Amino acid sequence: MELRQLRYLVAIADEGNLRRAAASLYVTQPSLSYALKSLESELGVRLFDRHAGGVTATAAGRDVVTEARRTLRQAERIRAVAERHRPSGSQVLRVGFEASGAGELTTRARSEFARRRPGVRVEPRRFDWGEEVTALREGRADVAFIWLPADLTDLHTEVIHSEPRVVGLPRGHRLAARDGVTLTDVKDEPLTWTERAPRPWVDWWAVNPRPDGSTPRWGPTNNNVEEMLEQVASGEAICFAPVGMARYYARPDLTWVPLLGVEPMRVAMAWVRGGETDLIQGFADTVRDLVADNGSSL
């Protein structure tokens, strides 16, 4: 059994579909199917039931996937421990973020830090909704740009960036030509959301409850930004997002319109309290300098 097989297993469980899992792993579907059959043969149990809509984990599959997740997290911790002892010429700093992160500041910080520390490899680690907090605690990232609100227990955090929010609409939508829209304008529109993030995070993004006490009209759920944008482009739902997403995820079949009357998104730079290293401190100083030079991103 290899870590690669466990990653395949978790991806299949997350996607519930071999085709989508193969795409997320950048492997062919036949290769993934073969790997799954080989693992089931090695373990002596069926891990997934196949059906027209995809696959569903069996009782044995659910237990195995749970252990696979734990094993992969532990493997990341082992790698992180080893990297802290590498010679300075081969050190690695893993910078976590989700979607568009802190906008241009994310890319500028990585680039400037790499310039200041040429012997350090900076690895961007993109996570799905709210996962960057868990990634810090599990050792899968050293420092991260966190979209607030979030559970910041045991984390050192500094708010370093903010962005207005926008509404994502399919091209040709009745509101697409507006200069701005309010919550009242979109109250009857289905809003895409996710079950993968903490509920307070979901509710903040959805502005739930609304100022008048009403709740959003909940639309389809998604697992990541790509699925969310597909749902919007197809006309299934609208979405709320930071303005940086409009720049980083520009598509001809989407329109982004300012969302008026709501508080902006705030982004915090964070790492595990007590786990600060020279690399983390150096990166944090780089971010602070860039924010100061820009006259504050807040």
List of domains in the chain: 3-78 (1.10.10.10), 84-161+266-293 (3.40.190.10), 165-263 (3.40.190.10)
Q: Considering only 16-25, 108-117, 196-205, 268-277, which range has the smallest mean pLDDT? A: 16-25
* Per-residue pLDDT, 117: 92
* Per-residue pLDDT, 257: 97
Mean pLDDT calculated for residue range 221-240: 94
Give per-residue pLDDT as tens, 30-81.
Answer: 888 888 988 898 999 999 998 888 899 999 999 999 999 889 888 877 876 7
Which residues face 56 on adjacent strands? 49
Query: DSSP secondary structure string, 29-47?
Result: HHHHHHHHHHHHHHHTS--
* Per-residue pLDDT, 64: 94
pLDDT category at 91 given cuts 50, 70, 90 is confident
* Per-residue pLDDT, 296: 45
Which of 173, 297, 184, 187 has its CA nearest to residue 242?
A: 297
* Per-residue pLDDT, 147: 96
* Per-residue pLDDT, 62: 93
Average pLDDT over the chain, rounded to an integer: 90
Residue 8 vs residues 17, 50, 138: alpha-carbon distances, Å: 12, 16, 20
Calpha distance 242→253 (Å, rounded): 18
Which one has a higher pLDDT value, 15 or 269? 269
- Tell the burial category of 274 from Cβ atoms under 10 Å away from its Cβ (0-12, 13-18, 19+): exposed
pLDDT category at 84 given cuts 50, 70, 90 is low
pLDDT over threshold 60, residue 88: no
Which one has a higher pLDDT value, 102 or 1? 102
Amino acid at the residue 81: V
Which of 76, 84, 72 has its CA nearest to residue 141?
A: 76
Give per-residue pLDDT as tens, 158-206.
Answer: 999 999 999 999 999 999 999 999 999 999 999 999 998 889 999 999 9
Peptide bond preceding 149 in cis form (omega within 30 of 0): yes
Record the pTM.
0.72
pLDDT category at 83 given cuts 50, 70, 90 is low
* Per-residue pLDDT, 86: 60
Calpha distance 140→185 (Å, rounded): 41
CB atoms within 10 A of CB 171: 13
Mean pLDDT calculated for residue range 119-148: 91
